[in-house]
Chain A
Amino acid sequence: MPIEIDIAKVARLARLALSAEELARYGSQLEDILEHAERVSALPTEGVPPTSHPLPMTNAFRADEIRPSLDREEVLEQAPARQGEYFRVPRILGET
């Protein structure tokens, strides 16, 4: 079954600023890959529970103890832009 993807929408959801040419290329590659992946639909899975994880585990608890965290200065040194003790970003809201 041919698959059609709204690739521009997917790229927007993934926060990827791609050109029209890139969108066309990735879109057609994804359609090929998904056609192969669609084979999974052929298997009868009624009543089969999904597996999200290989270990039969639920919550992992640890003691609530105070431990040293990463050095703030060392962490901020890796930031592309900072202002004092903060990460700095461009304005959040677009012009309306």
Chain B
Amino acid sequence: MSDLADLSIAEARDGLRKGDFSAVDLTNAAIYRAAVTESHLHAYLTLDQEGARDAARKADADLADGVDHGPLQGIPLAVKDNMTTRGIETTAGSKILSGYVPPYNATIIDKLHDGGAVLMGKTNLDEFAMGSSTENSAFGPTRNPWNTDRVPGGSSGGSAAAVSVGSAFGAFGSDTGGSIRQPASLCGLVGVKPTYGLVSRYGLIAFASSLDQIGPFARSVRDAATLLESVAGFDIRDATSYRGERPAISSHLDAGVKGMKIGIVAELTGEGIDAEVNDACRAMYNKLSDAGAELVEMSLPATEYALSAYYLIAPAEASANLARFDGVRYGLRVDGETTEDMMSKTRAEGFGPEVIRRILLGTYALSAGYYDAFYGQAQKVRTLLRNDFASAYEKVDALVSPTSPTTAFAIGEKTADPLSMYLSDVCTIASNLGGDPSGSVPIGLDGDGLPIGFQVMAPALHEAQLFRLAAEVERLAGFDARPALATSEVKPA
């Protein structure tokens, strides 16, 4: 049964302007969808029904007055709860920030408001975006809409689950090592990590500053492009924001891949990748070839070391970024005799195990005597990796691989073994270390009915190529399955 909550952003935008329905209708449809699915999924940490309806009424009033704020006007969207929202609790999935009500908006929130979007609420995540399953949230896990015994991926699992069932038309997450692309893959969605610096990080609670990037989740490549175009651009408040002109994003969606040169990353094909995932990707390589692209297998040797380098660099940056959570200015405080005592108790009580693990790892990797062997060496490997990608992009326009080595795994399956969880990010991490744009497009279901994602990668600022290839993969895959929970007729659990 189709209803308003199943429309694409493009369809909703057109229908609003034709007067087929109102933004309030769209918002009510998304709220109803949340009401029947949330007890199954726990995608949202905060669902702001009142704020959403107010924003929808405003969007309708503006449209009636002929004031058009662009393609997101009146569209219900969700954002990951590590982006600050003035007056709305922002926790980053952590007990240490439980109850924190930010006095300012992240730039992306301001941009969504300016665009007339309807903010549905804040979505669940692994604490401080550290994880690949959303099981590390201090407020309980999110479940995968395709099978609620499985994880939705992470860390932006709440955003993925919400878009997948229609309790949001689109959403934003953050991606430090795959936290948009991997949950998009596991939930059958399009997810994009843009070029580093393209979307402002102001107000994004920092995990690893040289890797973090905000990007969209959508049910189509075109919707993902619309979402990204609405929030990309230079921001004076983010010192690492890209200062040049915003690159084209949706200019080549219908161009096809004829004449495009595409490299298959040899190191991410075969060993360590689930056979069904590999087969589905191979079938897509053949289809792209039949569609006129020139495919060639390429070796990027440093890719094999990307995960190791990442698990030194990201925790090192995290250990510095998370020093600010000390019980002084906001969030949890556990009393102590002295200030240092108070800080140490607050942090031990307020952070969950994965966050503590990474702070310890990062502190160690940066400490005197070990810096050169670990952090310094990882930074050099980062250079080698960038060199590998740079030389690959001299020969090809884009690179492809699976997004995730497996489809959605069972809740609890990897929580006891941190290293096995880290391996979920083996295909996605290189794009973060390099700063290049990368996305996941759903291409089919495995034997258990779980979605398989296909990763597309392009050189920095070549978003137009990335979306061109993604759009063709989407067309060739013809993936139009939706999870059984994506209906307003489901009974709340």
Contact = CB atoms under 8 A, between A and B. Distances in A.
Contacts of A33: 311, 357, 361, 418-419, 422
Interface in B407-455: 418-419, 422, 433-436
A40 B240 contact: no
Interface string B345-382: 10110010000110111011001000001101111111
B146 interface: no
A15 B196 contact: no
Interface residues of A, number: 54
Given A34-B361, A43-B302, A51-B383, A90 B196 contact: no
Contact of A37 (B101, B312, B383): B312
Interface in B238-285: 239-243
A89 B103 contact: no
Given A10-B360, A16-B356, A90-B341, A54 B210 contact: yes
B376 A43 contact: no
Given A15-B326, A79-B328, A90-B339, A60 B312 contact: no
B337 A90 contact: yes
B120 interface: no
B328 A87 contact: yes
B330 interface: yes
A48 B347 CA distance: 37
A80 B357 contact: no
A35 to B, nearest CB: 9
Contact of B363 (A10, A18, A50, A71): A10
A80 B360 contact: no
Contacts of B342: 89-90
28 contacts: A5-B364, A7-B360, A15-B323, A15-B343, A16-B348, A16-B359, A16-B360, A17-B348, A29-B357, A32-B419, A36-B307, A36-B419, A38-B308, A40-B378, A43-B380, A43-B384, A49-B383, A50-B379, A50-B380, A50-B382, A51-B382, A51-B386, A53-B210, A55-B197, A75-B329, A78-B331, A81-B333, A94-B340
Given A36-B307, A79-B329, A80-B333, 10 more contacts: A17-B345, A30-B357, A30-B364, A33-B311, A37-B311, A51-B386, A55-B242, A81-B333, A91-B338, A94-B340
Which 8 pairs, one residue from A and one from B, show the smallest C-beta to C-beta distance? A54-B435, A50-B379, A80-B333, A17-B344, A45-B380, A74-B103, A78-B330, A60-B239
